[in-house]
Structure 1
């Protein structure tokens, strides 16, 4: 799966699951503020990632994720690890 496909898939489930306007999802936008995430929403986000991409997310992985771009990069790297495993 290439990065463009990953980004398209992520944006699709963010719009659907978190009811956010697709126009607000830009690489430099703040993930937490744009999606208005609270602690329960983070759990929902983890579940959606795991079910869509088939890898386990560790809570500490989210410490360095602040923008959509860093989120895309994280998922792409984990998908790449899974493919190469």
Structure 2
């Protein structure tokens, strides 16, 4: 899965499972400020994306995540 496909999956999860307006979801969107997701929501988002990954997610990798693009960049290598 390439970054564009992964971005689409993340966007789909955010719209369908978190009722976030699709117009708010951009690569630059802040997870906390723009999308108003707290740490528990972020964990739930990762759980919903996990079926698309081929490797285990390391929780420590998400300490630096701030934007939707950060999520894509961290998860994309795990789809291979």
What band does the TM-score fall into relative to the shorter chain?
0.7 to 0.9
**Separation (CA, whole Å) in 2 of partners of 1:32 and 1:55:** 26
Number of residues paired by the alignment?
80
Tell me which structure has the larger Cα radius of gyration.
1
TM-score, reference length from structure 2: 0.82
The answer to whether the 8 Å contact 2:13/2:45 transfers is no
TM-score, reference length from structure 1: 0.78
In structure 1, stretches of 5+ residues that fail to align are none
Root-mean-square deviation (CA, aligned residues, Å) is 1.7
The answer to whether the 8 Å contact 1:15/1:22 transfers is yes
In structure 2, stretches of 5+ residues that fail to align are none
Higher helix share: 1
**What's the CA shift for 1:54?**
4.2
In structure 1, the residue corresponding to 2:28 is in which secondary structure? coil
Counterpart in the other structure of 1:62: 62
